[in-house]
């Protein structure tokens, strides 16, 4: 298996051929990531191969983090009992995708663990209750549920993972 690393996205990363099989995720990386970064709407981190002596910066996977909130009414009863009745602050895991050429090699899990670690670090200095994801489809929702994400009460595949759970997963 190739060795890879995760680093903050820059304009020097080659994203022109990125193809995850999910057009909205591909379009974001190819056409919108620059604007999100410039406007501080999200921070994107990319996976690149690290064993290339020519400094290859081709993106093989990525994720984006942003600030967000969960409506109190969307929280499951067992969590809501302990929370104030106003929007709950979260880190939004806005996107996570792996290029087709690198799928099935653990990169998606590695990207998720990196995102959770960064979220845990943020929570040390900022009021954050959980990480939230808006899964694109049932396959994506199943991926997140394998790591303990729980469904919110709305009718879409919105999931969350409390920071307290993340601490347990990463310890």
Closest CA to 143 of 56, 22, 10, 37: 22
Report angle CA 161, 164, 169 to the nearest 5 degrees.
75
The residues annotated with a catalytic role in the active site are 144
> Tokens standing for 126?
């900022």
DSSP line for 72-97 = GGGS-HHHHTTS-SSPEEEEEEEEEE
| Rounded (10°) angle between helices 163-170 and 107-123 | 120
């Amino acid at each position: 298996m190739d060795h890879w690393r995760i680093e903050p996205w820059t304009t020097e990363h080659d994203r022109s051929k990125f193809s995850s099989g999910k057009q909205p995720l591909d379009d974001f990386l190819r056409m919108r990531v620059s604007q999100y970064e410039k406007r501080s709407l999200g921070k994107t981190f990319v996976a690149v191969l690290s064993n290339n002596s020519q400094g290859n910066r081709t993106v093989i996977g990525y994720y984006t983090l942003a600030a967000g909130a969960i409506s109190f009414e969307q929280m499951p009863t067992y969590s809501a009992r302990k929370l104030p009745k106003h929007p709950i602050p979260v880190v939004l895991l806005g996107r996570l995708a792996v290029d087709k050429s690198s799928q099935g090699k653990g990169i998606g899990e590695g990207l998720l663990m990196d995102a959770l670690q960064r979220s845990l670090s943020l929570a040390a200095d900022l009021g954050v209750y959980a990480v939230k994801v808006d899964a694109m489809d049932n396959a994506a929702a199943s991926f997140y549920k394998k790591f303990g994400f729980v469904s919110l009460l709305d009718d879409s595949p919105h999931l969350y993972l409390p920071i307290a759970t993340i601490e347990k997963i990463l310890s």
